[in-house]
Amino acid sequence: MIRVNPSIRLQCVTLAAGLFLAVAAHADFKRDYGAGVRDYNSGDYADAIEKLQKAIDEESKSQEQVRIYGMRYEPYIPYYFLGQAKFKNGDCAGALAAWKEAIAQGVVTGQEQFSELQSNMAACDSVKVDVTRIAQSAEAAIDTLEDNINRFAQLKSEKLLSSEWANRWEPEINTARSTAQSLKKRLATAVADTDEAGIKAVESEAKRAAEAVNGTRGMAIARADSLKENAAQNRLKQRNDARQTLTRAMDSGKSVRFNQGSEQMASLQKQLETLLQQGSAAIDNDAITPQEYLDLAQEISNVSRRYASAEQDWQAQQRLAESAAADAAAAQAAKIRRIPPTALKTVAEAYFAGNYQLAIDLSDPDQLDEDRAKIQALLFRAAANFKLYVLSGEKNTQARQRSEDDIRSIKRLNKDFSPYIAAFSPKFLELFRQTG
């Protein structure tokens, strides 16, 4: 007894099964083809299209003769009948594609059905005129899309969107433009192929794209409106803040107690009263800009500070005059035992009158013979420069530097010298102590 290798037996079985399936598949296309032709002849075009397509999937080559069943032989021209079924079903584009394939394979050209194929192809070609009219609706949809794009692009001139235009909104426009160009090309192809379904698809996509562009444009407009509102709110806040700054400056100015004193104090009092009147009118009418509110507030603060400094100088002068008769003044006078030079007296008078620049100009320590007189001249010049520094809102740093230089000169002349505290402001006295 001959034994067969199990693996060889399995290979034989597999090969036999494959041959069986191949033969069965080959037979299926004939069955599907015959069933498809019968459905076509009976008017069941949808079923015919399905079965003929199955036959083509199984065998796509046309044949002169094929046995359909029994001893019946017929030409195998599935693309012809597929085109016929699609034509009857209203799909000219699909029919033309199937007929062109049938003609390319050649078998149908020798059959009696060829004349009907040519006639139906001519009928489908005539439909192109109607397709062109249908395409007008799709063209209108694309035109609407482009109009929406152009309206959207006009927002580029909106200044509030300029900072985010390139990164946020322009890419949306570029994408929409690319879509419009693509739809135009697809529409041209669909019209050339009399593809009604393709034309309608283009129209539908164009409408959706136009709506999308409109929606994005609406978002951009809403964004601009939001930015406008924010800008308006910021401007209102700036205005209110500036008015409050002026109000605080006026409250501070109104709290100044005016006293009888020097001519400088009287002049500054008039200036401050005028500025306070201007501030009240500005707040009542609200007719000036935020910057003008701030400028007026700054001016009121400056005059108030200058008045306070002038009053402080005047009071120091008064204290000095009162102290001259006191024992301490007598002791100080006893040390000096001399009438100060006229030039030094003029410097002191200018300083206590608030004429600080004049006091600086008149001070010339080099023209004085004695160290004590030089020290007094340097002292008044240092104090006058420091006053200019304070009145500048502590911005005139050169004046402060000149004051410190004179203080150092004093200490080089007499390291133990200290100013009379009743004559000068506490800030200057502190500077004198700290300057080395």
Q: Please, is 14 exposed, middle or buried when counting C-beta atoms within 10 Å of its C-beta (0-12, 13-18, 19+)?
A: exposed
Residue 421 φ/ψ, nearest 5 degrees: -65, -25
d(CA 423, CA 378): 15
Rounded CA separation 132/136 (Å):
7
d(CA 324, CA 271): 33
pLDDT in tens, 126-158: 665 567 778 889 999 999 999 999 999 999 999
**3-class DSSP assignment, residue 64:** strand
Write out the H or E segment, with its range, that includes residue 76.
Answer: strand 72-76
Q: What are the tens digits of pLDDT across the range 246-276?
A: 899 999 888 888 888 788 888 988 998 899 9
pLDDT of residue 340: 67
**Are 367 and 343 in contact, with CB atoms under 8 Å apart?**
yes
| Spatial distance between the Cα atoms of 207 and 213, rounded to a whole number of angstroms | 10
- Say if residues 155 and 169 touch (Cβ distance below 8 Å): yes
Residue type, 189: T
Report, as an integer, the average pLDDT of 64-83: 85
- Kindly write down the DSSP assignment for every residue of 146-199, as one continuous string: HHHHHHHHGGGG-GGGHHHIIIIIHHHHHHHHHHHHHHHHHHHHHHHTT-HHHH
User: For position 259, what pLDDT does the model report?
Assistant: 83
Is the pTM higher than 0.85? The answer reads: no
Task: Quote the CA–CA distance of 170 and 167 in Å, as a whole number.
Answer: 7
Mean pLDDT of 318-336: 60
Partners of residue 69 on adjacent β-strands? 72
Compute the distance between CA of residue 161 and CA of residue 115 in angstroms, rounded to an integer.
66
For the chain, what's the residue count? 436
pLDDT score for 194: 73
For residues 176 and 145, the answer to whether their CB atoms sit within 8 Å is: yes
The arithmetic mean of pLDDT across residues 32-43, rounded, is 93
Position 420 pLDDT exceeds 60 = yes
For residue 394, the tally of other CB atoms under 10 A from its CB is 10
Name, of 37-41, 66-70, 132-136, 197-201, the range with top average pLDDT.
37-41
What's the distance, CA 340 to chain centroid? 72
pLDDT bucket at 24, cuts 50 / 70 / 90: very low
Provide the strand spans (E) within 149-262: none
DSSP-based helix, strand, coil % in the chain, nearest 5: 80, 5, 15
Q: Pick the residue with more confidence: 111 or 325?
A: 111
Q: Which residue has the tokens 């004559």?
A: 423
How confident is the model over 270-304, as pLDDT tens digits?
998 899 998 899 888 888 899 998 999 999 999 98
Residue with the larger pLDDT of the pair 361 and 12: 361
- The rounded distance, in Å, linking the Cα atoms of 22 and 65 is 20
Lowest mean pLDDT among 13-22, 60-69, 182-191, 289-298: 13-22
Residue 16 predicted with pLDDT over 50: no
Q: Which residues, in sequence order, are CB contacts of 70 under 8 Å at separation 6+? A: none
Cβ-contact 252, 266 below 8 angstroms:
no
Start-end of H helices in 353-425: 356-362, 371-391, 397-413
